[in-house]
Amino acid sequence: MKNLLHYQILKTLGRGKHGETFMAIDTGLQRPVAIKHLHTPLPGGKFRERFQDDMQRITALNQPTIAAFYSIEDIEGEQYLIREYIEGHTVAELARSRRLTFDRVLRLLIDAARALQSLHGHDSAHLNITPTNFFVTRDGSGRLADAGLAYGVTRRIDDDSKARDLVYLAPEQIMGIDVDGQTDFYSLGVVMYEMLTGRPMYEANSREQLTRSIRHESISLEADELSAVPGEARLVLERMLARDPADRFASASELLITLNEMASFHVSEMRAELTSTSRRDPRWYILLTVLAALLMILWLVVTTVYR
């Protein structure tokens, strides 16, 4: 594939609503990077300045659950965002192949909540949480990428295949209302639903149908795919998916505390089950001993009679 400046492109990683993403080698620093070729360039002027300021602030956080941003490159009238390359899988890949246990979902949500706690604590919001930019690294930890790329989400999209990506937008994003950290809780809730069920929260064939569903349709949390999910997890999901931002979690810290408590309770419950099955009533072993003795006596009788 072609080179871009000092980046040697190796392969295509995927295509999303904002553009194609490639894996490349930074030949100057000899490190792998991810390059996103934006379909629509970032708006100029104050937006561009604010975006760069946000990215610099996010990178300075040095938060391991947030992918590092490196630079914006303008090449022959096209724009490219350069960020850290994450080796592993996306949540989209794992969710749709049903390879996520409830324990693993909880651990990944906790990592996402840590990322949001760091972002929101520094006057930033992600505003672009989807399963394709939520990564699971080789060591099993979660990492969010592509923060801040929610510009122009209400613009017209002619290609309906891209409309499917809009399922992760909050109602206020669809309606063009002011957004903030509360919007991230909704989008993470949509991703959580997909992690637990293996399918998108809304199915739609067009942008119009999808935006109508997001604005007006209620989601049933009693679906068959959620029947094995603990009730407290469904309550968390319900709160994250509240249409009114004021009804969602008050802060990322509150969400993180809730998820950690749920994880601790779930682990304790599993240990209790293991303990109860490993510590059987001593009378059970007495019964097994008596049955074994009776079988031995029966075998002796039979062999004596037929000798």
- For residues 58 and 14, what is the distance between their CA atoms, to the nearest angstrom? 24
Q: State residue 208 phi and psi, 5-degree precision.
A: -60, -45
pLDDT interval class at 164 (50, 70, 90): low
pTM for this prediction: 0.81
pLDDT digits (tens, 9 = 90+) for 109-145: 999 999 999 999 988 899 989 999 999 999 999 999 9
42: DSSP letter: P
- For residues 190 and 26, what is the distance between their CA atoms, to the nearest angstrom? 34
Q: How far is CA 59 from CA 40, 64, 65, 107, 261, in A?
A: 23, 10, 11, 23, 29
pLDDT interval class at 272 (50, 70, 90): very low
Range list of β-strands (E), the chain: 3-4, 7-15, 19-26, 31-38, 69-75, 78-84, 88-90, 134-137, 142-144
pLDDT interval class at 105 (50, 70, 90): very high
Residues of the chain with CATH 1.10.510.10: 88-269
pLDDT value, residue 129:
95
Q: How far is CA 221 from CA 188, 194, 241, 281, in A?
A: 16, 12, 11, 39
Name every residue whose Cβ is closer than 8 Å to that of residue 46 and which is 6 or more positions away in sequence: none
- For residues 184 and 189, what is the distance between their CA atoms, to the nearest angstrom? 8
Q: Which CATH number fits domain 88-269: 3.40.50.300, 1.10.510.10, 3.40.440.10, 2.60.15.10?
A: 1.10.510.10
- Is residue 35 within 8 A of residue 22, CB to CB? The reply is yes
- For residues 74 and 23, what is the distance between their CA atoms, to the nearest angstrom? 18
Query: Is the confidence at residue 260, as pLDDT, over 80?
Result: yes
Give mean pLDDT, residues 58-83: 89
- For residues 47 and 68, what is the distance between their CA atoms, to the nearest angstrom? 20
Name every residue whose Cβ is closer than 8 Å to that of residue 241 and which is 6 or more positions away in sequence: 186, 189, 190, 193, 219
Residues of the chain with CATH 3.30.200.20: 3-84
Count of Cβ atoms closer than 10 Å to residue 133 Cβ: 27
Q: Which of 70-79, 141-150, 270-279 has the lowest mean pLDDT?
A: 270-279
Cα 207–169–244 angle (5° rounding)?
Answer: 115
The topology under which CATH files domain 3-84 is: Phosphorylase Kinase; domain 1 (3.30.200)
pLDDT interval class at 92 (50, 70, 90): very high
Q: Which long-range contacts (CB under 8 A, 24 or more apart) does 239-243 make?
A: 240/185, 240/186, 240/188, 240/189, 240/192, 241/186, 241/189, 241/190, 241/193, 242/186, 243/171
